[in-house]
Amino acid sequence: MIELRQWRQFVTLAEELHFGRAALRLHMTQPPLSQAIQGLERALGVALFARTRRSVVLTPAGAALLPQALRLLSAAEALPRVAQAAAAGLAGQLRLAFVSNIAYGPLPEWLRGFRQSHPDVTLQLREATLDVQLQAFDADEIDAGFVLQAPGAALPGFASWRAQNEPMVMALPEHHAQAAMPGLHLADVATEPLVIFPRQIAPSLFDAVLAAYRRQGATPQIGQEAIQMQTIVNLVSAGMGVAWVPESVTRLQRPGVVYRAVADAGLRCETRLVWREPATPVVQRFVDHVTAQQAPVQP
């Protein structure tokens, strides 16, 4: 096993090419330095220096080894700084999952700011619904995630922060009979085929949609299911039905689709950043970053 001390001795002698001056720099006497270099050469099985009574020069093997030894010592000297930065959350990796609606809202700006303020943190991003995120948390594949749910829904075992609270609006085909109306009532569309996400990807929000229909004495007619908001909007454009989407999704201007508020539905959704405690230093840095971007809201 070759120790860092021996590599420092080799580098110092290679720079000085004089045993006396190298020993002085290393705060040792010349005989132990000579023995240490001989031991290094025996361990490597090659001569690193050609010695005469008047000179010391690097052999071709020593000259080839010197840049590698310099890099090794530089990396070793950096290790404490790397460890300290990681412990402070200023270096490392953040594996972040998110639902699509937050990507239409503040997430891009948050990520841009975090990357600028934490250049040594590697961001690994993954679009995923709640059910996929829960599996990824269990498999230790993500560190934090933005999830979509009904307001106030709890996610046991997680710390969370509410990033968005927004109304749900209705997406309709642009040629729909109600599309020209500036506002709708739920009764206007209660019998329309509904394009909706499967319950397992956002159970609390799915149940909230059904409850809104029941309050109006209606039963939703589920026509199609789709996972991604973009796919849901595309199906609406194709005339497959109408859909409830977060208001932020209205930034997705798909030809053939209009978005309308439904005054009496009372449907809202929230997007929460979730993570498991205790938070890693990098996760805590990200939580602190995003929570500082807007005024705190009620948990």
Per-residue pLDDT tens digits for 1-15: 789 999 999 999 999
pLDDT in the model for residue 297: 47
Q: Is the pLDDT of residue 34 over 70?
A: yes
Which top CATH class is 91-299?
A: alpha beta
pLDDT bucket at 294, cuts 50 / 70 / 90: low
- Is the CB of residue 169 less than 8 Å from the CB of residue 209? no
Inter-CA distances, 290 with 15, 162, 261, 285, Å: 50, 10, 29, 9
Task: Provide the pLDDT confidence category of residue 268 given band limits of 50, 70 and 90.
Answer: very high
- One DSSP character per residue, 59-107 reads -HHHHHHHHHHHHHHHHHHHHHHHHHHHHTTSSEEEEEEE-HHHHTTTH
- Stretch among 79-88, 136-145, 179-188, 231-240 having the lowest mean pLDDT: 79-88
Residue 282 pLDDT more than 90?
yes
Task: Classify the C-alpha dihedral 131-134-140-143 as positive or negative.
Answer: positive
Give yes or no for residue 296 having a pLDDT over 70.
no
Kindly report which listed range (78-82, 262-266, 268-272) carries the lowest average pLDDT score.
78-82
The contacts of residue 160 (CB under 8 Å, 6+ apart) are 272, 273, 274, 275, 299
Tokens 């993570």 correspond to what residue? 275
Name the band, by pLDDT with cuts 50, 70 and 90, for residue 86: confident
Query: pTM for the whole thing?
Result: 0.74
Q: Which residue has the tokens 């209660």?
A: 190
Q: Any idea where the domains of the chain sit in the sequence?
A: 4-87, 91-299
pLDDT, mean of residues 204-229? 94
Torsions phi, psi for 80 (to 5 deg): -60, -40
H or E segment to which residue 223 belongs: strand 221-225
Query: Which DSSP letter does residue 298 get?
Result: -
User: Strand 257-262 to strand 183-184: parallel, antiparallel, or no bridges (unpaired)?
Assistant: parallel
**107-117 vs 281-291: helix crossing angle, rounded to 10:** 120
Average pLDDT taken over every residue of the chain: 92
Same fold, 4-87 and 91-299: no
- In angstroms, the CA 125 to CA 123 distance is 6
**CATH 1.10.10.10 is the classification of domain 4-87:** yes
Cα separation, 70 vs 64, whole angstroms: 11
Q: Look at phi and psi of residue 222 and say left if phi exceeds 0, alpha if psi is from -120 to 50, else beta.
A: beta
The three-class DSSP label of residue 4 is helix
